[in-house]
Structure 1
Amino acid sequence: MSGLRNMALALGLAMGVMTLGGAASAQECTTKIGAVLPTSVDWGKPIAATAQYVVDIANETGGVAGCQIEMVLRDTQTDPKVGVDAAKALVDLDGVQLLLGAVSSGVSMPILTSVTVPAGVLQMSCCSSSTAFTVLAEEGKTGGLFYRTFATSGVQAAVGAMVARDEGYKSVAVFYKNDDWGQDIGKLVAEDLESLGIEVTAFIAINDAQASYRAEVTEALKDSPEAIYMALYPKEGTQVVREWLSLGGTQNMIAANALRSDEFRDNVGMQYLGNFTGTDTSSPRTDSASAFVDAYTARFDGPPNGPGLANSYDATMIALMAMHAAGKDASGSEIAAKIGMITDPNGTPVTADAAGFAQAKDVLDGGGSVSYQGATGNVLFDKNGDVSAPAVTWGFSEGGIDEKQYISLTEVNAFMSSLN
């Protein structure tokens, strides 16, 4: 992320705090919500700033259930233990009934099982994609307290396999982060590649904080794959790619959205990324999605190019609208029970801005339901708290990140059905 963008985000957060403080002084009560997000990494800061942006919007309309909202933000450092400790502090000390986060499935899962479900707190994640959450919900172990606005790993895995097919690769080595997220998407993409008749020559787990990944890379090079697939974060992704290239590996690379990072691009070098293709879920091509891009650009002096920003916006909007519907001092389960009233296809359509938030409150106060038209489209959760989504492929350029192809929800679903 450029220095200018960092400054813009820092200014946005600072102004958010100022706005919140000024509004709260005119309000008789304040309700705290928690956020556990990786603000110590470059791509995590804008996710948190986006959530704060929504809090500011809600407060501009007079708050939620008559109270101003204060978002208490704690850094997870993408570390499960740090994330759990942060979540416990927010629940036990700050008494939050709503927790936004986390980003990584490997952090969200232990928070869910050891903190939010036992405490009866609603957990709304913008960016956790593991299908393990779906299994947990189907087993009745989430208590209806987990929702996410990011599609499951199955979408990105399928699109990764689609890229390999379209590029004509006959063999691919898979590197995956050795956590819940990486294990899940790595397994899925390997299955999808094999369904297409593409050989998976290696399936390599990458652990955190190793000084070198030369042994893992050497193992993956044994069968000379035509391409590599990476479900890694920027730090270990950079190390793996450097080792890979230094040992003569191909520049044909496919990656999940966690590598959608200026840090990764700059540390690897554009000269090595000409044949790199990333995947991500996408907002649909709708008026509401375009309106979000315009509003975000005006707020932060730049478009929402990082991962999870539209998802963070919608997760926070939906959760705060549900809090309003549940009323002052509502429990996590009571807030969760109102989410269906915010995403009702037959409800009153409301936009994802201050005017829409104010309208939603009026409708909800009158006993009605709303159909939230958000940054990711008309959000609709299934019984497990999951959503589906269109997808994009993308690549790096000197100016940032450029979209290569948009794949509609219909096309995504059709391709995934063909694999099954």
Structure 2
Amino acid sequence: MTKTGNLLRTGAAMGLALAAMSVADTAAAQECSVKVGAVLPTSVDWGRPIAETAQWVVDQVNEAGGVNDCQVEMVLRDTQVDPKVGVDAAKALVDLDGVPVLLGAVSSGVSMPILTSVTVPAGVMQMSCCSSSTAFTALAEEGKTDGLWFRTFATTGVQAAVGAKVAQDQGWKKVAVFYKNDDWGQDIGKLVAADLEALGIEVTASVAINDAQPSYRAEAASALSGQPDAIYLALYPNEGTATVREWISLGGTQNMILANSLKSEEFRENVGMDYLSNAWGTDTASPRADSATAFVDAYQARFDGPPNGPGLANSYDATMIALLAMEAAGKDATGAEIAAAVPRVTDPAGTPVTADSAGFTQAREVFAEGGSVMYQGATGNVRFDANGDVSAPAVVWKFGEAGIDEVEYLSLDDVDAFMSALQK
């Protein structure tokens, strides 16, 4: 064979080898996976949609090629809205599954022990959709979160202030407060009492409600003795239903202010619309922005219904921001490295990207060139402060026969102005 023939033969062989290596590399990239943990209350009716929304984001990212060319697996564990169950679930995800990021939890009373006893000691980033206690802000200010804590839900201060505003707008002069006896409930109960009093409204009682009691009749009777014009309820559906039933059976007023934790079909059905006609709910809200509208439309198409439950937009943004931060941090990044990459995802001067598969693909290209993006999500252009907190607009809502009816929308400027006035 000629020298030229040998060269051609060798070149062909090398080409085949390189092609085989390329196929193998592509297959390996497609076969690799990366895990994220999720601790969410899937055993309660309002918790399942929060988890389903997070999984939807994972599906979208996988459609875009995954994180750092690896398919994402969300390992989900149920917290049952129980601190001990939540901590055990988080430990399993961190110790056994080796997740660098934990999504959750719902309820500050569950998120706090996970943060202090699991994620911070392990160096795992924690991104919560639905924990609002100001205790997290204090912890971050003390340097005890190591920069690993973020939440896409505004602090309890927003809901407390809007709850007090509802009482003022309705002309109620005396209000009794029922609060869940955990970190979240104690926090919002204290804040709403202070805000009511700042408006000249008498707080006739502040009553702690514990889980799983056989009866809440004594608590209801105690609050009734002050003859309030209305009650404020910072409870979850189970104990909220039981407390309201006792309250109504004792002849208590049907004037109610509900925290967003009671924005639940289960609560509405178990109490009954006959007793909820003058129940006014509060919640944080997405801004009136194109990205928020796009989320509602996409959610409707995916789940055949509007995102009426609590925390759904927040769950979407928490999950997408976490996965974008993982992409920005690079393959095999630690929890601390992923947390440090969050500002590259929410940079006001960054390239605007949408909250969907196409947006993730665009962000990947920007990150590859060393740039940053401005994530435009279901709750708008998310901005975290130094403590991992966000602010948000708010809504006042009521139960309707077919779902949730929005009564009033308060912009971020409206919320900030009202909260500032309360401090004067």
In the alignment, what sits opposite 2:9?
Answer: none
Q: Distance in 1 between matches of 2:398 and 2:104?
A: 27
Q: Distance in 2 between matches of 1:255 and 1:83?
A: 25
Aligned partner of 2:150: which letter?
A: Y
Q: Does 1:251 align with 2:254?
A: yes
Show structure 1 runs of 5+ residues with no match.
Answer: 1-22
In the alignment, what sits opposite 2:159?
Answer: 156
Q: Distance in 1 between matches of 2:269 and 2:110?
A: 26
In the alignment, what sits opposite 2:307?
Answer: 304
What TM-score, normalized to structure 2?
0.93
Aligned partner of 2:248: which letter?
A: L
- In structure 2, the residue corresponding to 1:99 is in which secondary structure? strand
Indicate if the aligned counterparts of 1:33 and 1:98 stay in contact, CA closer than 8 A: yes
In the alignment, what sits opposite 1:339?
Answer: 342
Superposition pairs for residues 42-191 of structure 1, below 5 Å? Answer: 42-191=45-194
Q: Distance in 2 between matches of 1:32 and 1:232?
A: 33
Q: Distance in 2 between matches of 1:343 and 1:327?
A: 17
Of 170, 191, 195, which residue of structure 1 is paired with 2:198?
Answer: 195
TM-superposed deviation, 1:103: 0.5
Q: Distance in 1 between matches of 2:47 and 2:38?
A: 12
Q: Does 1:368 align with 2:374?
A: no
- In structure 2, the residue corresponding to 1:27 is in which secondary structure? helix
Indicate if the aligned counterparts of 1:24 and 1:30 stay in contact, CA closer than 8 A: no
Q: Distance in 2 between matches of 1:316 and 1:106?
A: 21
In the alignment, what sits opposite 1:381?
Answer: 384
Indicate if the aligned counterparts of 1:194 and 1:200 stay in contact, CA closer than 8 A: yes
Indicate if the aligned counterparts of 1:372 and 1:379 stay in contact, CA closer than 8 A: yes
Q: Distance in 2 between matches of 1:28 and 1:262?
A: 41
What TM-score, normalized to structure 1?
0.94
TM-superposed deviation, 1:25: 9.1
Indicate if the aligned counterparts of 2:198 and 2:422 stay in contact, CA closer than 8 A: yes
Largest Rg, 1 or 2: 2
TM-superposed deviation, 1:66: 1.6
Q: Distance in 2 between matches of 1:189 and 1:287?
A: 32
What is the alpha-carbon root mean square deviation over aligned residues? 1.1
In the alignment, what sits opposite 2:5?
Answer: none
Show structure 2 runs of 5+ residues with no match.
Answer: 1-25
Q: Distance in 1 between matches of 2:279 and 2:113?
A: 33
Q: Distance in 2 between matches of 1:365 and 1:208?
A: 49
Aligned partner of 1:323: which letter?
A: M
- In structure 1, the residue corresponding to 2:204 is in which secondary structure? strand
Indicate if the aligned counterparts of 2:29 and 2:70 stay in contact, CA closer than 8 A: no
Indicate if the aligned counterparts of 2:129 and 2:153 stay in contact, CA closer than 8 A: yes
Distance 1:24 1:120, change over 3 A: farther
In the alignment, what sits opposite 1:32?
Answer: 35
Distance 1:195 1:142, change over 3 A: same
Q: Does 1:327 align with 2:330?
A: yes
- Equivalent pairs counted in the alignment come to 398
TM-superposed deviation, 1:401: 1.1
Task: String of CA shifts for 1:122-168, please: whole Å, max 9, x gaps.
Answer: 00000000000000000000000000000000000000000000000
Aligned partner of 1:52: which letter?
A: Q
In the alignment, what sits opposite 1:7?
Answer: none
Q: Identical aligned pairs, as a percentage? A: 77
Q: Does 1:219 align with 2:229?
A: no
Indicate if the aligned counterparts of 2:79 and 2:86 stay in contact, CA closer than 8 A: yes
Aligned partner of 1:51: which letter?
A: A
Aligned partner of 1:56: which letter?
A: D
Distance 1:305 1:196, change over 3 A: same
Distance 1:25 1:164, change over 3 A: farther
